[in-house]
Amino acid sequence: MRDTGVIQMVAHSNLRPSLNDERFDVVVIGGGINGVAIARECARGGRHTLLVEQSDFAAGTTSRSTRIIHGGLRYLEHGDLAQVRESLRERGQLLRQYPSLVHRQEFLLALSSKSPRSALAVRAGLWLYRRMSGQRLGNGQSERHRLERMLDDGRHFSVFSFDDAQCEFPERLVAEWLVEAVRAGCVVRNHAQVLTVVAGHGKVTGLRLRDQLSGAEETVTATWIVNATGPWADHICQRSGIRTSHPMVGGVRGSHIVLPKFAGAPDAAVYTEAVDGRPFFVIPWNEQLLVGTTEVKDTGDPGATKPSAEETEYLLRSVQTLYPRAQISEGDVRCAFAGVRPLPYSPGAKLSGLSRRHYLHDHSADGAAGRTSVIGGKLTTATSLARECAVKIGIAKAGIATGPRQIAVANGGRLDELMERKIAEVAETGGIARESATVLVEWYGEQSMTIAGAARNRAELQETLCPHTGHIVAEAVHAITNEHAVTLGDVLLRRVPVALGVCWSPECSWVASKGVGSAMGWDERRTTEAWEGFEAERAAFLQKPAAATSAVSGH
């Protein structure tokens, strides 16, 4: 995308309405999973709400997470039973409300004989964890045996099985919540930078922002402002002249690498210890393996953070040590990515011991009453954080929000009779292949019929986004027209995140660009600009280690 100082509008034919001089009850700054959840809760509580995001919704920390919806087994180790209960409760809600996006995942906890953790203590902890979550005791024998066959022959491992959950694409969950927020009356603006928060007489009165699509500066007034920018929380304060007694956030970088699935790899996620004894995960994800994460102090620009060569090597060496028979090499690393966790500022504290519990910083003592900053938080507890924020601003009946009814998937990965009928109905409605109908139903639930209906009798919408996927161009058009996607990155990395898949290459990007461009009526120049901008964004997000370049250049 050409650098003109203003984002090239590859997805909208008209500028969105100006917000200048608009008045809101609540403005939420930051469109990650926490910010979107807060905005949704406030709008549902009857407050006129504005959600502002400098980049795109879910483009920051949310998309750079380990993609686990977990009940907090690690918190149990630190004795934080309250956080375990909260996490388990919220995990259960997500599993019930969004079964298409959040699903149960078997985990195997593998401890070597050299681990400082006692196998007896671990067994007792897992028993308590299962009791707190209401799980039946399972044995996971088949997956345990597969793992044991692949482990290091030179060490004895104790392997334990437990259940947690995974959200492979939290970007899709954020898109669902965004639509629900808008349906409740929330006004949303991505690609809109907050220039400053305005305060007078010790209280916030509004903010000034720049719409990066038009370049126009706009001023809005507000009664409450929630700073849910995660690792950018202190940056927003500094930009607004709001001084706190000390930094609120102590940024900690977490890096991941993505590997191909190797022969014999278990279908269960593996939770074990890295070469230095720190816990890390090897998780089946998107037909690949997601390995992470690291913990490195990072006080730089959160938007520019990258995995270091040392972190990539550390994660690779940890996997190699765990699975020596797999013969994984540097050339197998498909990509690496990093995000900054907005953990509480705790100088001198051990990073692994920092609490993952969120808290709300009231800025009244800083001369900005009516402003709250969210510190911490994670995927699992975004909705409970949202309810807490809503109560703080005076929404007395904030409660567990129920999402649209989703289509349930039968246990064990087998499609039940309802699912089979729905897929057949979607395929017939849209005149699309069964594979495309299946992915529509799995990702969009009841919305799949709307998308399929739009594709009927429009051949260009029935085309797949690339030759290696069942996802179709109609999904991209739906993202643009109904889910506030602006750029191709918004579409292909977050609303329809097919570009995170195994096959993706510059050729796939070009096919997708042409398909979306044709459906949207773009000319050749606009299509080329969209493709160039997308390629630049994807390369900045998914880093390719130099040694792995040749291994990932093809399909």
Cβ partners under 8 Å of residue 306, min gap 6: 338, 543
User: Looking at residues 491-520, what average pLDDT do you find?
Assistant: 96
What proportion of the chain, given as a percentage, has pLDDT over 70? 86
- Alpha-carbon distance 338 to 205, whole Å? 35
Mean pLDDT of the chain: 87
Higher pLDDT, 412 or 88: 88
Helix axes 447-455, 434-444, angle to 10 degrees: 140
Q: Which of 98, 176, 95, 102 is nearest to 134 (CA)?
A: 95
Residues 33 and 382 sit within 8 Å (Cβ to Cβ) = yes
Q: Which of 177, 549, 544 is nearest to 382 (CA)?
A: 177
Residues 471 and 439 sit within 8 Å (Cβ to Cβ) = yes
Model confidence pLDDT, tens digit, residues 457-474: 999 999 999 999 999 999
Of 140-154, 167-181, 403-417, 533-547, which range is least confident?
A: 403-417
pLDDT of 78: 63
Structure tokens at 484: 């506030």
User: Looking at residues 170-188, what average pLDDT do you find?
Assistant: 97
25-29, 104-108, 231-235, 523-527: which has the highest mean pLDDT? 25-29
Output the CA torsion sign for 453, 458, 461, 462.
Answer: positive
One-letter amino acid for residue 310 of the chain: E
In this structure, how many other beta carbons lie within 10 angstroms of the beta carbon of residue 97?
18
pLDDT of 493: 97
- Alpha-carbon distance 369 to 202, whole Å? 6
Residues 64 and 306 sit within 8 Å (Cβ to Cβ) = no
Residues 291 and 319 sit within 8 Å (Cβ to Cβ) = yes
CA angle 76, 80, 85 (to 5 degrees): 80
pLDDT of 23: 98
Structure tokens at 420: 């089979």
CA angle 449, 35, 68 (to 5 degrees): 70
In this structure, how many other beta carbons lie within 10 angstroms of the beta carbon of residue 308?
16
pTM above 0.85, yes or no: yes
- Alpha-carbon distance 90 to 64, whole Å? 21
pLDDT of 412: 43
pLDDT of 13: 44
Listing DSSP states for 476-507 in one string gives HHHHHHHS---SHHIIIIIIS-GGGSSS--HH
Write down all domains in the chain, each with its CATH number in brackets: 23-61+171-246+356-392 (3.50.50.60), 104-160+251-341 (3.30.9.10), 411-544 (1.10.8)
Tell me the residue ranges of DSSP E strands in 359-415.
359-362, 371-375
pLDDT of 245: 87
Tell me the pLDDT band of 530, cut-offs 50, 70 and 90. Answer: very high
In whole angstroms, how far apart are CA 282 and each of 163, 320, 398, 412?
Answer: 15, 11, 37, 21
Q: Which of 197, 252, 219, 193 is nearest to 373 (CA)?
A: 197
- Alpha-carbon distance 437 to 297, whole Å? 44
pLDDT of 93: 93
pLDDT of 545: 78
Helix axes 506-520, 473-482, angle to 10 degrees: 60
Specify which residues 80 forms β-bridges with: none
CA angle 143, 144, 149 (to 5 degrees): 100
Model confidence pLDDT, tens digit, residues 1-24: 333 344 555 544 447 899 999 999
pLDDT for 183 beyond 60: yes
pLDDT of 551: 35
User: Looking at residues 142-149, what average pLDDT do you find?
Assistant: 71
Helix/strand/coil for 325? helix
Helix/strand/coil for 148? helix
> CB under 8 Å, gap of 24 or more: what pairs does 545-549 form?
545/309, 545/312, 545/330, 545/333, 545/335, 545/336, 547/330, 547/331, 547/333, 548/330, 548/331, 548/332, 548/333, 548/334, 548/335
pLDDT of 552: 34
Model confidence pLDDT, tens digit, residues 302-338: 999 999 999 999 999 999 999 988 899 999 999 999 9
Residues 475 and 485 sit within 8 Å (Cβ to Cβ) = no
User: Looking at residues 158-177, what average pLDDT do you find?
Assistant: 93
Of 64-78, 387-401, 409-423, 524-538, which range is least confident?
A: 409-423
- Alpha-carbon distance 235 to 244, whole Å? 12
